[in-house]
Amino acid sequence: MYTIKAVSVASGVSIETLRAWERRYGVVQPKRDASGRRSYQPADVLRLKKLREATQNGHAISKLAKLSDDQLNSTALLAQNAEALENNAPAFAQRMLKAAENYQPDHCDHALSMAMALLPVREVIKQVISPVLKNVGERWHQGTFTIGQERIVSQSIEKHVTIALDNYNRITSGTPMVFATLGSERHEFGILMSALLAASHGLRCVYIGPEIPAEDLAVLVTRVNARALVMSFVFNKSANNQRELKKLLALCPSELPIWAGGSESASLTAGIVDKRLVVINNFDRYEQELTLLATQKN
């Protein structure tokens, strides 16, 4: 028999996450001694390792918890196949760029739809969509990509991500997260992809889009009783955005977590002291926060 600390070390699942998984999903059933301390069997450690590996490969814990050990083994095999596919993720990105070069929107759509069908959401975002957007932006600024070529890519991404987000929301319930940018922030792809990643973790998401005035956003998060507000800041208008952010903080519910990401988020939030405000500029950190949020009751 193992203590919860030993199980956490052996399985790679943090104690906080393990307790949340047990409480919400019953992933394992530890025994308790007279003092209420948990004790685990070796089989529990093996199961938790498989669960951790599967969640890291994009599977939702809410679905994995229902699987038997044999089914988890099959999931592990699928994860291995997914890893092989992930190594080919750059090929999907190159196909999208080639399609834009040749003014072939249908080919761009096909490449992205195949990537989304075959790869975990996190890999589509990290290895396909993000590199493509960066490449297209650089070419547009250099004058080697026309607006038409840029639109072939951007409209394909917006269409497929929006459809995927809608599909996830059809099978989830509960208090939603809200995703938006403030009135001076026009860049929306970062926040749109953030919403998709959150949805893939089993969280209900309300995507509002860019350039929302602080007053309107505060009303919305209050009316839907949002469990978190996620915003992106990449536009270099820090003074305007900072004024809007301060206004938003004054108007939002006192217990609402507000996550800020994007290249300008650190400079924009400098000097603002508010326990609700969390700057998340790291993809892995964002996923960790989503995993913890998904295990909490809503």
One domain, residues 178 and 275: yes
One domain, residues 278 and 181: yes
With beta carbons less than 8 A apart as the criterion, state whether 175 and 221 touch. Answer: no
Structure tokens at 96: 């999208």
One domain, residues 207 and 149: no
**What is the rounded distance in angstroms from the CA atom of residue 247 to the CA atom of residue 250?**
5
Domain ends where: 166, 194, 223?
Answer: 166
**What is the rounded distance in angstroms from the CA atom of residue 197 to the CA atom of residue 161?**
10
**What is the rounded distance in angstroms from the CA atom of residue 253 to the CA atom of residue 215?**
12
One domain, residues 144 and 183: no
Task: Tell me the residue range of the domain where 110 lies.
Answer: 88-166
Bridge partner residues of 32 (DSSP): 38
Local confidence band at 68 (pLDDT 50, 70, 90 cut-offs): confident
With beta carbons less than 8 A apart as the criterion, state whether 45 and 65 touch. Answer: no
Taking only the tens place, the pLDDT of each residue in 168-216 is 888 788 899 999 998 878 888 999 999 999 998 889 999 999 999 999 9
Domain containing 157 — which CATH number?
Answer: 1.10.1240.10
pLDDT at 207: 96
Look at the chain and report how many structural domains it folds into.
3
Q: Work out the mean pLDDT of the chain and round it to a whole number.
A: 86
Taking residues 133-144, report their average pLDDT.
94
Structure tokens at 150: 């840029």
DSSP 254: T
Domain ends where: 85, 115, 137?
Answer: 85
One domain, residues 106 and 33: no
Local confidence band at 83 (pLDDT 50, 70, 90 cut-offs): low
CB proximity list for 278: less than 8 A, separation 6 or greater: 257, 258, 259, 260, 289
With beta carbons less than 8 A apart as the criterion, state whether 205 and 199 touch. Answer: yes
Domain containing 260 — which CATH number?
Answer: 3.40.50.280
One domain, residues 179 and 207: yes
Count of CB atoms situated within 10 Å of the CB of 14: 14
